[in-house]
Amino acid sequence: MTIQSAEVIWEPTEDYVAESRVLAFMRRHGIATYEEFYRRSIADIAWFWDAVVREELGLEWFRPYDRVLDLSDGPAWPHWFVGGLFNYTVNALDRHAAAAPDRPAIRWEGEEGTTRVLTYAETLAEVNQLASGLRARGIKAGDRIGIFMPMTPETAIATLACSRLGAIYVPCFSGYGPEAVAARLRDAEARVLITADAYYRRGKVIPMKETADAAAAVSPSVEHVIVARRVGTKVPWTRGRDEWWEDVVAGQPAALPAAETSADDPFMIIYTSGTTGRPKGALHVQAGFPLKAAQDMAHCFDVHPSDSLFWLTDIGWMMGPWAVMGTLILGGTLVLYDGSPDYPEPDRLWALCERHGVTILGISPTVVRALMPFGDDLVRRHDLSALRVLGSTGEPWNPDPWTWYFQVVGGGRCPIINYSGGTETSGGILGCTTILPLRPTAFSTAVPGMAADVFDQHGQPVRGQVGELVVKRPWVGMTHGFWRDNERYLDTYWSRFPGVWTHGDWALHADDGDWYILGRSDDTLKVAGKRVGPAEVESAAVSHPAVREAAAIGVPDEVKGETITVFALLRPGHEPSEELRGEIRQEVGSQLGKSLLPREIRFVDDLPRTRNAKIMRRVIRAAYLGHDPGDISSLENPAAIDAVRQSR
């Protein structure tokens, strides 16, 4: 496959250059060009991460580390900041509360319109009170705590309180059913589950406590269920186990020293869906995920203490903890929202950005595609002049929605920081920066410190052609294996090419230096010996004006090995027809070639997706072929599986 490079659509202005944290880093070290900076960040990783910790982030340690990196156990098991004692909550809260106690740390808006603002001093006090309440109930370092909550201030406070004690929290997607929550609680052997009474979704009250009860009932390790009042509904109660949040924190001190944890002490197990029924528990450590999140925010998104960052996500997805830790470590303001992006009107996100002075906005391409049909005027009626950086992650872009996001939402002046990595990487492998030119849909760089490359099937680096995205050297933020399943961790990421992390994405590093993600490599379509990423097929399908979204899968074929089936979700005003089916098929063929013509175009009313809007192709394929779809706990809309089965 070849990618036709688009023209540069955005160039950094003097203001972006003057503010740039990357450029300031380069100047401190006498580095003249970005290319030289990136090369040095991956050639001398101990120097780079030491400089990030000491200079860029200015982190405070209980005991300084003796050595930046120890690779004596091999590249799959690096030990960072050896000998150091570190608790990230000190750097996310205490130092900012001391220097700027009245600066907003968290701004929250609920779907029904309720708002709340917490300063750094107030956030620190509330974190300490909850941590003290947990400690009074016997919770200690290393204990696991499930967090099953919507995106409220209490959710961020709960994560920080766990980490302050040295406990390990397990974030659970707020839309999970009982068994999905229970599977995580049982696997982690959690002692506590923190939840809410309910939350609002599209104007309806969605119960949480009942789900939490059902999960706790089949999780023998759970001793305490702590319930935050979000809606104020009446909930079932188990005496001796259940407690209201306000009772747990009542009378607890607002000051509590953070646990002096080691740099590689675990603080979070975050589960990701797998192709089998059992999710993978990525284990992250105190001086890992939080540092990577903050570094990526600094070098890619150029976050400053004056910034307000809003990312539409959930605590159960990595971008939830990422937003909490990264924003607060950098001293910025975290904006949270726990409702639907288009309720009560399709301009909800733009109104939220205006109300809270959001400067850095992150949403997925799917959300952009869903909001585009409502028109430009709904965006332009709001004052978005505070925006200076747009972000996106989760899936590949198509050119039209990328351009709409850039031109309409960002007014043609804000760079889109395309960002791709994963739960197991603690952030990005590929990204952009505010000092490099941008082309639509592309990544302008590998993230500093990430020794990314593209390998062919023989493990050789390739340029200008599609291959496996790999990382050739360890980095801060690598998962420290899977919880109680290190063999699976090694098999997943380290078995393909010895000593090299294989991420599972198809990627292309173009001759002009830009990068492109083309979908998951385990989703690859192989038609008569030709490999094509499903994102390429989908991009061609949605270029037809009737198609809003598309998902492409491979279907077994005796002659070709596989043929392509495309599931198309139509825009309003368009109805399924044989004529339209033929037009979409020909559109794909005209862009990708006749040999990659889809065998079928099927029309659907919905596509299975996660809360962060990622379309689940493996679930679509399993539903279409009548196979077991595996772990579907992350789906926001399980009914869409039936929509696939009933497609026409």
Distance (Å, whole) CA 101 – CA 254: 14
User: What average pLDDT does the segment 87-114 reach?
Assistant: 98
User: What average pLDDT does the segment 378-399 reach?
Assistant: 93
pLDDT score, position 2: 44
| pLDDT score of 3 more than 60 | no
Comparison of pLDDT for 560 and 149, the residue scoring more: 149
Distance (Å, whole) CA 598 – CA 613: 24
Same domain, 364 and 477: yes
Confidence grade of residue 622 (pLDDT, cut at 50, 70, 90)? confident
| pLDDT score of 274 more than 60 | no
Distance (Å, whole) CA 266 – CA 143: 10
pLDDT digits (tens, 9 = 90+) for 126-169: 999 999 999 999 999 999 999 999 999 999 999 999 999 999 99
pLDDT score, position 314: 93
| pLDDT score of 275 more than 60 | no
* Three-class SS state of 455: strand
DSSP label of 85: B
Q: Which of 515, 534, 564 is at the close of a domain?
A: 515
170, HSE (Cβ side, Cα atoms, 13 Å): 27
Distance (Å, whole) CA 409 – CA 505: 29
Same domain, 507 and 529: no
The lowest-confidence range among 141-155, 335-349, 410-424, 632-646 is: 632-646
**Helix and strand totals (H; E) in the chain:** 22, 30
Q: Which of 462, 484, 515 is at the close of a domain?
A: 515
pLDDT score, position 257: 98
Residue with tokens 């006090």: 125
Is 358 among the domain residues? yes
The CA–CA distances, whole Å, from 42 to 30, 49, 140, 447, 619 equal 17, 10, 37, 10, 37
Same domain, 343 and 374: yes
Is 121 among the domain residues? no
Say if CB 282 and CB 485 are below 8 A apart. no
| Residue 576 structure tokens | 């399924």
Is 599 among the domain residues? yes
Distance (Å, whole) CA 462 – CA 104: 47
pLDDT score, position 328: 98
* Three-class SS state of 72: coil
pLDDT score, position 1: 42
| Residue 330, C-beta contacts closer than 8 angstroms, at least 6 positions apart | 57, 294, 297, 298, 303, 304, 305, 307
Share of the chain above pLDDT 70, in %: 95
Same domain, 478 and 596: no
User: What average pLDDT does the segment 347-373 reach?
Assistant: 95
Comparison of pLDDT for 111 and 637, the residue scoring more: 111
Distance (Å, whole) CA 365 – CA 371: 10
Say if CB 590 and CB 633 are below 8 A apart. no
Three state DSSP letters for 487-529 = HHHHHHHCCCECCEEEEEEEEEECCCCCEEEEEEHHHCEEECC
Say if CB 365 and CB 333 are below 8 A apart. no
Same domain, 449 and 590: no
By residue count, the chain amounts to: 648
| pLDDT score of 634 more than 80 | no
Is 287 among the domain residues? yes
Q: Is the dihedral of CA 129, 133, 138, 144 positive or negative?
A: negative
Same domain, 304 and 333: yes
Same domain, 585 and 482: no
Is 13 among the domain residues? no
| Residue 527 structure tokens | 């038609």
Distance (Å, whole) CA 121 – CA 633: 37
| pLDDT score of 252 more than 60 | yes
pLDDT score, position 273: 62
pLDDT digits (tens, 9 = 90+) for 498-556: 999 999 888 999 999 999 998 777 666 767 555 566 877 888 899 899 999 899 988 88
Is 203 among the domain residues? no
Q: What is the CATH number of the domain that holds 560?
A: 3.30.300.30
Angle between helix 289-299 and helix 21-28 axes, rounded to 10 deg = 100
Distance (Å, whole) CA 188 – CA 270: 10
Say if CB 571 and CB 372 are below 8 A apart. no
Backbone angles phi, psi at 51, to 5 degrees: -65, -40
The CA–CA distances, whole Å, from 334 to 109, 152, 329, 540, 630 equal 11, 11, 11, 37, 35
User: What average pLDDT does the segment 80-90 reach?
Assistant: 98
pLDDT digits (tens, 9 = 90+) for 202-245: 999 999 999 999 999 999 999 999 999 999 999 999 999 999 99
Bond preceding residue 64 cis, omega within 30 of 0: no
pLDDT score, position 416: 98
pLDDT digits (tens, 9 = 90+) for 389-429: 999 997 788 899 999 999 999 999 999 999 999 999 999 99
Is 167 among the domain residues? no
Angle between helix 319-329 and helix 153-165 axes, rounded to 10 deg = 70
pLDDT score, position 276: 44
CA 312, chain centre distance (Å)? 10
pLDDT score, position 104: 98
Confidence grade of residue 78 (pLDDT, cut at 50, 70, 90)? very high
pLDDT score, position 528: 59
User: What average pLDDT does the segment 462-483 reach?
Assistant: 96
Say if CB 610 and CB 176 are below 8 A apart. no
Same domain, 374 and 445: yes
User: What average pLDDT does the segment 285-309 reach?
Assistant: 98
Q: Which of 515, 546, 561 is at the close of a domain?
A: 515
| Residue 18, C-beta contacts closer than 8 angstroms, at least 6 positions apart | none
User: What average pLDDT does the segment 465-480 reach?
Assistant: 96
The CA–CA distances, whole Å, from 7 to 14, 231, 380, 513 equal 21, 49, 26, 13
Same domain, 582 and 635: yes
| pLDDT score of 442 more than 60 | yes
Is 260 among the domain residues? no
Selection from 228, 230, 233 nearest residue 244 by Cα: 228
Say if CB 464 and CB 509 are below 8 A apart. yes
pLDDT score, position 546: 95
Distance (Å, whole) CA 501 – CA 144: 28
Say if CB 60 and CB 95 are below 8 A apart. yes
End-to-end distance of the chain based on CA atoms, in angstroms?
A: 30
Q: What is the pTM of this model?
A: 0.86
Confidence grade of residue 613 (pLDDT, cut at 50, 70, 90)? low
Share of the chain above pLDDT 90, in %: 79
Distance (Å, whole) CA 164 – CA 127: 8
Same domain, 430 and 305: yes
Integer Rg of the chain from CA: 24
pLDDT digits (tens, 9 = 90+) for 8-19: 999 999 999 999
Q: What is the CATH number of the domain that holds 454?
A: 3.40.50.12780
In the chain, the number of structural domains is 2
Same domain, 285 and 397: yes
Say if CB 596 and CB 541 are below 8 A apart. no
Distance (Å, whole) CA 638 – CA 610: 9
Instruction: Print the domain residue range for 574.
Output: 524-645
Same domain, 558 and 436: no
